[in-house]
Structure 1
Amino acid sequence: MISNIINTLLILTFSLIGSTGVAQDTINSNFPSKPYNGPPLSQELKDFAKDFFSENYKFKRLNMIEGTVDDALFEAKQQGKYLFVITSFGNQKRSITDNAFRALDLNKSLNEFDFDNFLFYECNFSDYRNKYLFWAFNNIAYPTGFIFSKDGRLINIIVGVDDISNGYTLLGGFTYVQNKSFNNRLNLQGKNAINFIDTQLSAFQTLLDPESKTEDYNKAYNAVIDSFNKEQYYFNIFLAEQLSKKLGLKEQELIYALKLKSLESDPYNRQLFDLLIEND
């Protein structure tokens, strides 16, 4: 009886996966979908099936890290491994991000790839502590994949569930960068965008680190100011203001504060402002 129930639930969950419409070609190639032809199921049983699948699915090879994005970066540095971050939002079961992880894990073309050199982390933006990643990227779209080097520097960005789950970056060498624009509010693309965003992430992490010293703030400040030559947006101006404050540069702090004020008429920037002030 119990085995029949389990089999029914598994058939149901696989059939549900086949109907998501998310990265359909990739997901279908990894999950052989079987139609459910049994008696109608109650909504309660359908919900139970989703929870059953989500809670019992175990990644076979991906070394998953729990906690915040900072915890994941710290653990990757400690272990001397690359970190593959895939973004999500909310607590949906079997979300588009979950499907990307599963497809990446089961992708037959990656069978020979050594995942032991990578840690994997699902960066849920509903956790406030992870939000600075999309502040830097100037977007809250998901899933987006970020690959960090062993010393915690951003070296690649992969946009979209298909590219993530196909693992093209891993197959082609994870430092290979497609020179394409990203779905965000920045005008940069390819390596220029990666280097630009890495500067902002590093500067914000310097601000968060209680052990940062004057030389660290000065290095971060100069890097942020240099990034203005590529593009100015709310987040790097905010960083310049905060770093000016840390360095006691009163005149520059006022200049950047006024610039931020002028940008707050944009509702998107206003939303960022409210969140950043809470974090300050």
Structure 2
Amino acid sequence: MYLMVAVTATRAFGIGRAVFRYAERLVSHDAVLRMLADTRVAVYRRLERLAPAGLRGTRRGDLLSRLVSDVDALQDYWLRWLLPAGAAVAVSALSVGFTAWLLPEAGAVLAAGLLAAGAGVPLLTGAVARRAEGRLAPARGVLATRVTDLLTGTAELTVAGALPARTAEARRADGTLTRIASRAATATALGDGLTALISGLTAAAAALVGVQAVAAGRLDGVALAVVILTPLAAFEAVLGMPLAVQYRQRVRRSAERVYEVLDAPVPVREPETPWTLPPRRSRSWSRR
């Protein structure tokens, strides 16, 4: 009967997972896209005051990258950092509490494993990818600048004989961006591998303390499967934390690039006390 309850619960959670995930995506993306729309409106209102005199030091391609790609990257702060981090904390707390209720030693083992995978591994991969993530947004801006200059000035560059050199510069910028993205992907792979290793070690340690508890008569034999399988399910919540930390670093650099434009001094300021127009009759007399 215990196993039938477990099988039925597994089926229910398997079906409900897709439903809950779909509902979560709908709610979270709707909220973030609304927030992103408000951000875009604020950015363009600010550009009305800055352009063109206030943006003379910014190239067109880099400005386009800041106001499109970097603004789009701001949504990752909520979707790919805060939401996974909150889910990881909630699931980890519930899993540790439930396992500790069954067997305190297994709860301690699970807490140590989740802490190592959910905090230690992201800190390590974040340190490895910090330099690459900080260079990713500027490299994307350089590539956009090279491509924009190449496409808008093709005729002039062809006449001047500078088209091959500018094409080579665009290819070099693309190669630089590819190498930076590869380094960031290496950090992600390192995080996934370390998380899988810690997950296996935690499950093995939970099985060890569980078997000892069953032998001592402190744990029912059927509950041993719960003690062993709960860590495997709980680690799924922290599996994306290394990537979430990388997105946090990436969003931070993109936000800095956006605010570098938005915080630029306004070239023409509105007067604190606007002048009032003279009466209509006086203006008619002045035109005469």
Per the shorter chain, which TM-score range?
under 0.3
Return the TM-score normalized by structure 1: 0.23
Give the number of the structure whose alpha-carbon radius of gyration is greater. 2
Between the two structures, name the one with larger relative contact order (CA 8 Å, sep ≥ 6): 2
Judging by fraction of residues, say which structure has more strand: 1
Judging by fraction of residues, say which structure has more helix: 2
